[in-house]
Amino acid sequence: MRYEELDEDAQIAEVQKLVPGILAQYGIEAKAIENVNHSFNSSFKITDTKGEEYALRINLASGKSNNEVLAEMQWLEALALDGSVLAPVPLRTTNNELLVSTHFKPLEKETTAVLSKWIPGEEVGDKPTNEQLFGLGQNMARLQIFAKTLSFTEPAYLPTINRTFMNTKDNLSPAQPKQINDKLYGDILKGLALSEEVYARISEGQELLPIHADLHNGNVIQTANKLAIIDFDDAGMGLPIQDLVISNYYIREDTEKEKHLKAGYASLLELPKISDEDYETLLMGRLIGLVSAVTYMTSAEIIEFIPTFLERTQTRLDHFFATGKFSLAN
């Protein structure tokens, strides 16, 4: 049976077979292995024989090269030394490497894995408080302030992501995916053209900087004392407005929430200047970027969700084209 046809538990079992070999390269022997997330990538909580806890991420769906992942990990090492933002502290292998390359036979692909210290706490999730949203906005600004002076040691570099699909492959323009009907496909291409025009225009004369590019509340951990930011997998050289667009996409059902996040950002940095029309278009563009990624995912849970997601996409695009406003209405 093909990997894509396995249920979630069976997929996780296949991925978990990689874990002992990866940990061996860090000189770690696991006492307990728990999968904590299996979607775009697969992440595990590792407890070793000494009781130390770690986070292991195996990049099943990431389009990043090894050198791009290396830049992500160098950023995290620099943040750990700086201390302005609480984020995963990466660990090095016994050969002093920041990542491990491995072959995943079920998908016949080479992939990377990274290990960091475990951050204790709870995912903020779908019901953030106003204080947490304000704090997320502040952390977004702190990351951007720090990134302005960030440099990487060769051969590490971050991909350029100031476009609708960021660092992912365009799975939509070359041919109509089989899951997408004619009307939706036409609307997606229409929306994509609008989004790409805005990105091209607002990028003119702008200096790109490293941005997290996935600051939703599933990537925010409430620790005992402060918020922690995790999952820098989508990080790249982009525009400051992209961080705000991506974060606000996921809370768009309540525009009052956006005010708290933006207020947190504005307490440290001036909000990027953008027209309301362009801002709404970029929110819509985030949806199209997710459609492109989701329609070719191999995770069992995501494959099952695709029909529902595409139905919601049509509703959201209909609303956008009718009103000029982006909504998460279903």
Backbone angles phi, psi at 201, to 5 degrees: -70, -45
Residue 125: what pLDDT?
Answer: 92
Q: Which helix (H) or strand (E) covers residue 9, if one does?
A: helix 8-16
In this predicted structure, what is the pLDDT of residue 297?
Answer: 84
With bands split at pLDDT 50, 70 and 90, how would you rate the model's confidence at 78?
Answer: very high
* Type of residue at 125: G
Strand positions, DSSP E, the chain: 30-38, 42-48, 53-58, 100-104, 109-117, 122-123, 209-211, 220-222, 227-229, 236-238
Share of the chain above pLDDT 70, in %: 100
Judged against a pLDDT cut of 90, whether residue 33 lies above it is answered with yes
CA distance 187 to 217: 29
**pLDDT tens digits, 128-171:** 999 999 999 999 999 999 999 999 999 999 999 999 999 999 99
d(CA 115, CA 163): 29
Q: How many CA atoms lie within 13 A of 53 on its CB side?
A: 8
Burial 228-254 (b: 16+ CB within 10 A, else e): bbbbbbbbbbbbbbbbbbbbbbbbbee
* pLDDT over 80 (residue 330): no
Angle between helix 240-249 and 255-266 (nearest 10)? 150
The domain segmentation of the chain, as residue ranges, is 3-117, 155-221+229-255+271-323
Residue 129: partners with Cβ closer than 8 Å, 6 or more residues away: none
**Predicted confidence (pLDDT) at residue 32 exceeds the cutoff of 90:** yes
This prediction has a pTM of 0.95
Q: How high is the pLDDT of residue 40?
A: 84
Q: Give domain 3-117's CATH superfamily.
A: Phosphorylase Kinase; domain 1 (3.30.200.20)
Task: Give the other-Cβ count within 10 Å of 223's Cβ.
Answer: 12
| CA gap 151, 237 in Å, rounded | 12
Pseudo-torsion of CA 194, 197, 199, 203, nearest 10°? -160
Per-residue pLDDT tens digits for 290-321? 999 998 888 988 989 999 999 999 999 999 99
Alpha-carbon span 113 to 8, nearest angstrom: 20
Alpha carbons 64 and 170: distance in angstroms, whole number: 14
Percentage of the chain exceeding pLDDT 90: 92
CA separation for the pair 223, 143 (Å, rounded): 18
Tell me the C-alpha to C-alpha distance, in Å, between residue 288 and each of 177, 190, 249, 278, 318.
13, 10, 12, 15, 13
Q: Name the pLDDT band for 270 (thresholds 50, 70, 90).
A: very high
pLDDT at 118 over 80: yes
Q: Model confidence at 273, in pLDDT bands (50, 70, 90)?
A: very high
DSSP assignment of 107-132, as one string? GTEEEEEEEEE---SEE-TT---HHH
Please provide the average confidence, as pLDDT, over all residues in the chain: 96
Give pLDDT, residue 288: 98
DSSP E strand stretches across 49-137: 53-58, 100-104, 109-117, 122-123
Residues ≥6 apart with Cβ < 8 Å to 81: none
Q: Fill in the DSSP letter of residue 15.
A: H
